[in-house]
Structure 1
Amino acid sequence: MKIKTRFFTELMMALALMMDLDENRKLYHGWRVGILAEKMAQKILPEYRTQIFYAGLLHDIGAISLENHVTWYIDQKEHFKNPILLKHPEKGAKVIREIEPLSIAADMIMDHHEYWDGSGYPHGAKGNAINIGGQILRIADTFDLLARVKPPLDFNGIKTALMGRRGSEFSDLMYELMIATLEEDDFFDKVISEKAVSEILPKVVRELPPVDLSSCKTDVENAAKVFAQVIDAKHSYTAGHSERVASYTYEIAKGMGIEEKTAKRYEIAAYLHDAGKVAVPKSILDKPSSLTLEEFKLMKRHPVYTMEIVSMISELKDLVLVAGGHHERYDGFGYPEGLRGENIPLGARIMAVADSFDAMTSLRPYQKSRSRREAKEELARNAGSQFDPVVVKAAVGVL
C-alpha cells in the first residue's frame, strides 16, 4: 500500500474507532457497519464498494456531540425529538465532503436515515429516491443495533426482526441482500463478534480498491485539522480548543528555538491530543463540581485512548507519547504514567502548557475564564511543579 493511501486509510479507521469509544470500551459500530455494507455492495454496487465502506465507517460522524453514544438511541421516533440526531446525517455529510476523496460517500451518509416508506429523515425521501448506498447503510446500521440487544439474538432472531421492517424501513431487495450476505460463508457468525470485527477490518482494507487520491491535496496537517474539528464537536465549549492548543504548541516550540520540522510535528500531535476524551461521558466533562474518585479514574484514561488512536496511523507513530503525555506533570504527579521531568517527551511538556493556557482563557463549566495575563501568571506560579520551567519561560514570552 502506497504511503499516501496507507495514511488516508489508517486515518479513517482511527477516526471511526475514536467515534466508537464509549467510557471504557470500544463499540466498533462504524467498523461493523462498514464491513457489512462493503460486503453487501460487492453484490449490487461493486464499483462503489470502497466509497460505501468509508461511508459505513464514518456514517455517524455528525452525531459526535450526543450525550451518549449513538447506539443508545434505538427508537427512530425518538430521533425526531432530538435536534442533534435529526441533523446528524446532514452534518456528517458536510464533514465528509471536507475529506476530498469521499464526496460520493458523503451522499450516502446524507441518506442513511431515510426510510423506504418515506418516514425517515432528514428529507423524508422515499423509495428509489433514496441513494442506494444510503439504503445499504440503513439496513447495515439496523443490523448492528439488533446485534447489541440483550439477551443476544441468534441469526433467526435477527432475521425475524429485519423481516418485520421490510417494506417500511428498507426495501424487499435490501432485506434479501442482507440475508444472503449473512448466510454466505457463515458471515453472520463472523460479523456478530466484536473481536472478529477488529480482525476482519484490516483484511477488508487490504482487498479494497484504493481511494482515488490523485487529485487530493490533503496533507497530514490538514487531515489532522479535520480530526480536531470532530473531537471538539463533542462539546460546545471546546469548539476550536484543539486548533488553539496546536497553535500555542507551535508558537511555544518556535519560541524555544526548536526547528520548524519538529515544531510542526508537535503541532500535529496537539490537533489530536484530546481524541481519547470522546470516550469520557459528557456528564463528567461538563461537571461543574469536583469529580468522584471513579469519575477521575475514567477521566485519566483518555490520554491512553488518545495514544491508542494515534498509534493506528503509521505516519504519526513518533507522536504517540507526545499526544498522550499532555497530562503528565513535571514533578511526576501527573497521568497516565506519572512520568517526571525530562522523562516526559519535550513535545508533551510544551503541550501541557499550551493546553492549560487555553483551558484557563476559555469559558468552561467548572471554572471562570481568566485573562491572558492572569493565565500566564498561573503558569509561572506552577513552573517547576506542574510545568517545565524552561517551557513556561518561553510561553510567557510568546503567548
Structure 2
Amino acid sequence: MNIGQEKKEQFFSELIAALSLMMDLDESKKIYHAWRVALLCEKMAEHILPEYKTHIFYAGLLHDIGAISLPEHVVHYTNIKDHFQNPVIFNHPLKGAQIVREIKPLKIAASMIEQHHENWDGSGYPKGIAGDDINLGGQIIHAADIVDILLRETKNSEENVKVIIKKLEEKRTKEISGLIFELTAFILKDRDFFLMLFDEEKLSKIFFETLQNQRPVDTDECGGDARDILRVFSGVIDAKHSYTAGHSERVALYSVKIARGLGLPHKDVSDIKIAAYLHDAGKVAIPRFILDKPGRLTDEEFKIMKMHPVYTGDIMSIVTELQRLIPISINHHEKYDGSGYPHGYYREEIPLGARIMAIADAFDAMTSERPYQRIKDAYEAKEEILKNAGKQFDPHIAKEAVKLL
C-alpha cells in the first residue's frame, strides 16, 4: 500500500488512533481511556510544552500499549500494590516505550511513555526517578492518567470537579509536582471540557477534530507504506496472549505466498498482506479466559468469540485508507459451505482475499502451539486443509495452497 505524501500524515494519525482504540476495547466496550488521556495531555501541553504538543498527544494515546497482555485492561488494576507486584504492570512503561520506538516518527513520545508512572517524590516505577529528572511529557501523561481513573470513580456533575481536584491535590508533591497540579486543576475547571470527557459522542467528535489539527510528524521516517506501524499493530494484537506470538505476521506471509501462487496482481497481493496483518485486531476485546481456554468453548463463549471480526471492522473503519480492506480482514472465518461467521457467506460471496487468508490462518493455527490442540507438522496441516476443501475452504485455492505452504 503506497500512499502519496498528501495522505501519509492522515494515514499515520488515523492508524495511531485505531491502535489506541484497539487497546481500549474491554470485552466489546470502548472505555476511551487512551483518548481521554490524550485530550487531557494535549490541553496541558498547550500551556507548558507547546512545541512538543503533538508528541505528547500521541504519547497519551499509546501510553499503556505495553500492558496489552494483561487479562483485563490496566485501568481495572487500581490497587497500587498490583502495580509493583505484577511484572507486566511494573514493566509496561518500559515495554510501551520499546514498542513505540519501533514507530520511528514517535521516538520523542517513547521517552515520555517510559516515565509516565514515575512519581515526583521518587516512589514511582519502573526506575524510581524523582523531581525534575522525570521527563515533563511523562509528568503530563501521569497527571492525565490519574484524572481519567478519578473520572471513572465519579459522576458527571459539575460539583464533582471540586471532588476530583481535591483528590488530585492529595497527590501534590508526592505523585505530581505543584506545577502539574495547578495546571491540571486549571484545565478541569473548564466546564465544557470537563463535561465533554463524560459524553462519548462529544468525546469522539472532539478527539477526531484534535487528531486532524495536530502538526504532521516526520512520516518520511516510516516510508511510503508505513509498514513499521502495521508491524507494530500486528505485534500488539498478537501480544494479547502467549499462544499467538508472531501469528499475524505469519498469516500475512502465508497469504502472500498463496496469492502470488494464484497469480494475483501485485496490488491485490499487497492488499491481502495488509488485511492479514490486522485480521485479528478485534480479538483484543475477547476475554483472555476464552482465548486461552484449553477445552471446547460453550455456546455463549463461542458467541462472544464470533464477534471479534466485527470489532476488527470497527477498528479498521477509523483508518480511511484501510476501509476498503475491511471485507478481507473480517471474513476470514467464513466457510465455503456457508457455515462460517460473522455473516454466513457462501462460496464466492466470500471475498477472494478472505478465502485465501482462511487457509493461511488455519495452517498457522494448526502448526503453532494452541491451548486446544496438539501441534501438527506441515504435512498433517496440509492434509487437513485438503480434507476440508469444499466445506471450510475454497477447493481450488486449497489445492494450490498445499503446493505453496
> TM-score, normalized by length of structure 2?
0.96
Superposed, 1:37-116 pairs within 5 Å as 37-116=41-120
- Supply the RMSD in Å over aligned alpha carbons: 1.4
Matches of 1:220 and 1:246, distance apart in 2 = 16
The partner residue of 1:393 within 395, 399, 403 is 399
Distance of 2:298 and 2:377 partners within structure 1: 29
Structure 2, unaligned runs of 5 or more: none
After TM superposition, give the deviation of residue 107 of structure 1 in Å.
Answer: 0.6
Deviation (angstroms), 1:159: 1.4
Paired residue type of 1:121: Y
Relative to structure 1, the CA distance from residue 220 to residue 343 in structure 2 (aligned partners, 3 Å threshold; closer, same or farther) is: farther
The letter for the 2-side match of 1:303 is P
CA contact (8 A) 1:273 1:324 kept: yes
Structure 2 match to 1:165: 171
Relative to structure 2, which stretch is displaced further, 254-263 or 107-116?
A: 254-263
How big is the shift at 1:310?
Answer: 1.3
**Contact 1:62–1:89 (CA<8 Å) still a contact in 2?**
yes
SS of the aligned residue for 2:175 comes to coil
* Distance (whole Å) between structure 2 residues aligned to residue 320 and residue 348 of structure 1: 10
Alignment of 1:134-149 (within 5 A): 134-149=138-153
* 1:313 pairs with 2:319: yes
Return the offset for 1:218. 6.0
Paired residue total = 399
- In the alignment, is residue 298 of structure 1 matched against residue 283 of structure 2? no
* Corresponding residue number in structure 2 for 1:14: 18
Residue aligned with 2:392, SS: coil
Q: 1: CA distance between counterparts of 2:245 and 2:100?
A: 18
Query: 2:201 aligned with 1:191, yes or no?
Result: no
Tell me the equivalent position of 1:209. 215
Instruction: Give me the whole-angstrom Cα distance separating, in 2, the residues matched to 1:263 and 1:207.
Output: 34
Q: Percent identity?
A: 55
Deviation digits for residues 112-154 of structure 1 (CA, Å, limit 9, x no counterpart)? 0000110101110101110000000001001111111266682
Deviations 1:341-375 (A, max 9, x none): 10010000100110001000111011111111111
With the length of structure 1 as denominator, give the TM-score of the two structures.
Answer: 0.97
**CA-CA distance at 1:33 after TM superposition:** 0.4
Residue 388 (structure 1) shift: 0.6
Q: Say yes or no: does 1:4 pair with 2:8.
A: yes
State the distance in 1 between where 2:324 and 2:132 align.
48
CA distance in 2, matches of 1:61, 1:74: 17
Contact 2:156 2:195 in 1 (8 A): no
Q: What is residue 343 of structure 2 aligned with on the other side?
A: 337
Cα distance, 1:214–1:371 mapped onto 2, change above 3 Å: closer
CA distance in 2, matches of 1:398, 1:365: 27
CA distance in 1, matches of 2:257, 2:222: 28
> Please, which runs of 5 or more residues in structure 1 have no aligned partner?
none
Tell me which of 124, 127, 133 is aligned to 1:129. Answer: 133
**Residues in 1 aligned to 2:219 and 2:272: alpha-carbon distance in whole angstroms:** 26
Q: Residue 210 of structure 1 aligns to a residue in which SS?
A: coil
What is the CA–CA distance in structure 1 between the aligned matches of 2:394 and 2:274, rounded to whole Å? 21
- CA–CA separation in structure 2 for the residues paired with 1:38 and 1:6: 18
Separation in structure 2 between the aligned mates of residue 151 and residue 364 of structure 1, nearest angstrom: 43
Q: Which residue, 156, 159, 164 being the options, matches 2:162? A: 156
Q: Which residue of structure 1 aligns with residue 261 of structure 2?
A: 255
| 1:220 Cα offset (Å) | 3.6
Q: Which residue of 2 aligns with 1:236?
A: 242
Q: Give the aligned residue type for 2:127.
A: H
1:267-306 alpha-carbon deviations (Å, 9 max, x no partner): 1110100000000011110001121222111111100011
Query: SS of 1:80's equivalent?
Result: helix
